[in-house]
Amino acid sequence: MAKGDGAQEKANLQASKQLLDIKITQQEKILDLYVKQGTNQEEIEKRTKRLLNLTNQHAKVQKHLLGLEQDITKEEGKQEKSLFKQVTAAGSILAVTQKMKEAVDFISKTQRDTANSMSVTLSKAAKINKEIAKELKFGMVVNTTRGEILETMNEMDALFRTSNGYSAAQAKTLSVTANKLNISRGEATKLSGMMQLIDGASFESSNSTMVLAKNLADAGNVKFGKVMKDIANSGKDFANFSGMSLKNMIRTAVETRKMGFELNDAMNVANKLLDIEGSIESQMKFNVLTGKQANFDRARALVLEGDMAGALQAVKSEVGDISKLGILERKALEDAVGLRADQLQISNSISDIAATNADNEKAALKAYQEGNTQLAEQLLSKEHATTATEAAANAEENIKMSVAGQLQNQKALKGVMMGIQATQAIIAGLSSVKAIAELTAMSAMTVGIGMVSTLAAVATGAAYLSGAFSKAKAPAMNDGVIGPDGGMMVSGPKGSIQLNKEDSIIAGTNLGGGGGSSSEIGKKLDTMIQLLSQQRTLNVSGAQLSEVMALESVPVGMG
Amino acid sequence: MNINKIVTALLGAFLAKKGIKSIAKKRALNDPKIRNRIKQLQADLDALNNELDKMD
């Protein structure tokens, strides 16, 4: 049954109906003419009776036609619903594959990004991303991101000169600490790394020290961020000069800042005071010019002990009020202690207005020196790493990253991508083959000539796909016999039926003869079987057939 | 850009609807039950047409 036959048959039906209408009208006119011409009554009655009978039958057919139209409309609705479901299902698959494609794109991008920023291969980048993804779960999803951890890792790489000096977990912890203390990842990494490299501290204790240093700075009303910047600028020189541990240097930075100085100032004072001959000469000159009795011996001793902040404090005490010093006196002061008069004046003013709580400072200093990790954890847990908006953005990215991190295998990804593209092509192909076939069959007037020609071009491409579906077309055969050859399968609207292995099929037109249907052959066979079952013997062309019991077992209704 | 997208989407929806309707109609007409009824009615109409031809 070729496609489109139903439509053709319906068109034929309508044409026959129209023909019938015309013929009935004609017969009615003829009858009318007979009546007007006065043709004999018997003929008129005969024609009227026949026409009435045919008109009744016509009415019945018309009723059935109407019923048919209604059923076709119903069936159309049913088919439309089913097709819509299919299209929606295909759309859902497309949407899912689109989402998968986006996920794969994201994985590829993050992998390339990690590879570039860490200067590693793609497979190493995949490993790093996977490690980061493992760290970014539960509460951590809001505190930092892959990008921030990578930045920390880069800083650590620069500091340790190797990737073996740290783990992804440490980079994450450091990134979160930097967010919570609101210092840059570079500063946090340098501080933590230097404590590990110079002081021999563990990662955990260096992290705690940073938190406790922030606590110390807070207690002294000093901004921790500024302390960090001071250390970043002068820390290396200061460490070289003083040989001080990082931990002590941080404390010194906090204490000097509290007095209004920076590490660099402390270094200048120390340098000057340790130039003992020059310093003593300048000290005497300063005393002669100002009439003061300044003695920097204690300050010098403190420098030698490594207490820079104490030395600064001692210098300040010895110098006293400097607001009324002249040019030469100020010059002598700078030569003696390495500090300009304005710096000392500012420091004095800061000390006057500073409102600090001595107990708090003492407690904070004690905790810092002891390295109270419990307090450090408590303090850190109270701080927020991100704002609400940042947290939401981080969570979204990290969840995506977590899923992506589990799939970071380039070979597998390429396979997934190819699979997705193939699925999309098949779905798109199936839809367009059907749609194009229908659309190109539409009239150019309905859709527009340009559209039809465009679709025709698309149809050419789609024909390749449709070819794959039409290859399974059944071979044709005229009358003949199909032998068993080890098995026979018959297909039809009710499905495929496996016949007996020994069965043959005889095909032909009008096998019953005389235009009769195959049911007539069945009738003849039934009659023959009936006769045979009664007589038990039969003469056929002179030959006697005995015992034909086997024929009785021919299936009923064979015809 | 957005207008282009909207127009494309509308055109796509229009064509998809037309396509679905057209396929549904063809499928309905090729439904075996419907085709059998068409054939039966065709036979009835042919018979009536023949009868009318005989009247001339």
pLDDT band at B34 (very low <50, low <70, confident <90, very high): very high
Rounded Cα distance, B20 and A455, in Å: 16
Angle made by CA atoms A197, A215, A247, in degrees to the nearest 5 = 25
User: Which residues of B are less than 8 Å from A495 in CB distance?
Assistant: none
For chain B positions 8-47, those within 8 Å of chain A (CB to CB) are 15-16, 18-32, 34-35, 37-39, 41-42, 44-46
pLDDT of residue A152: 92
pLDDT band at A67 (very low <50, low <70, confident <90, very high): very high
Cβ-nearest to B52 among A27, A76, A78? A27
Task: List, for residues A365-374, the tens digit of each pLDDT value.
Answer: 899 988 888 8
User: Which residues of B are less than 8 Å from A79 in CB distance?
Assistant: 23-25, 27-28
Q: Is A24 on the interface with B (CB under 8 A)?
A: yes
Measured between CA atoms, the residue of chain A closest to residue B29 is A6
User: Which residues of A are less than 8 Å from B21 in CB distance?
Assistant: 76, 80
pLDDT of residue A72: 93
Measured between CA atoms, the residue of chain A closest to residue B50 is A20
pTM, to two decimals: 0.50
pLDDT of residue A471: 39
Task: List, for residues A311-360, the tens digit of each pLDDT value.
Answer: 888 888 888 888 888 888 888 888 888 888 888 888 888 777 766 677 88
* Long-range contacts, stretch A466-473, CB < 8 angstroms, 24+ apart: A466/A433, A466/A437, A469/A433
8 Å CB contact between A203 and A170? yes
3-state secondary structure of A442: coil
Q: Which residues contact A37 (CB under 8 A, 6 or more apart)?
A: none
- Between A386 and A444, the more confident residue is A386
User: Maximum CA pair distance of chain B?
Assistant: 71
Sign of the CA dihedral A90, A91, A95, A101?
positive
Task: List, for residues A271-291, the tens digit of each pLDDT value.
Answer: 888 888 888 888 888 888 888
Residues paired with residue A495 on neighbouring β-strands, in sequence order: A492
Given an 8 Å threshold on Cβ–Cβ distance, is A439 in contact with B26?
Answer: no
3-state secondary structure of A546: strand
Task: List, for residues A176-201, the tens digit of each pLDDT value.
Answer: 999 999 889 988 998 888 888 888 89
Cβ-nearest to B25 among A1, A68, A76? A76
Q: Using the 8-state DSSP alphabet, how is residue A247 labeled?
A: H
**Mutating which of A80, A86, A439, A447 best tests the B interface, going by the most B Cβ atoms within 10 A?**
A80
Rounded Cα distance, A442 and A415, in Å: 40
Q: How far is B4 from chain A (nearest CA, A)?
A: 17
Q: How far is B10 from chain A (nearest CA, A)?
A: 14
Looking at the predicted structure, is the pLDDT value of residue A465 above 50?
no
Task: List, for residues A383-422, the tens digit of each pLDDT value.
Answer: 888 888 888 888 878 777 776 665 555 566 666 666 666 6
pLDDT, mean of residues A159-173: 85
Task: List, for residues A31-48, the tens digit of each pLDDT value.
Answer: 888 888 887 888 888 888
Given an 8 Å threshold on Cβ–Cβ distance, is B23 in contact with A83?
Answer: yes
User: Which residues of A are less than 8 Å from B35 in CB distance?
Assistant: 5-6, 9
ipTM field:
0.88
Measured between CA atoms, the residue of chain B closest to residue A436 is B19
Cα end-to-end distance, chain B, whole Å: 71
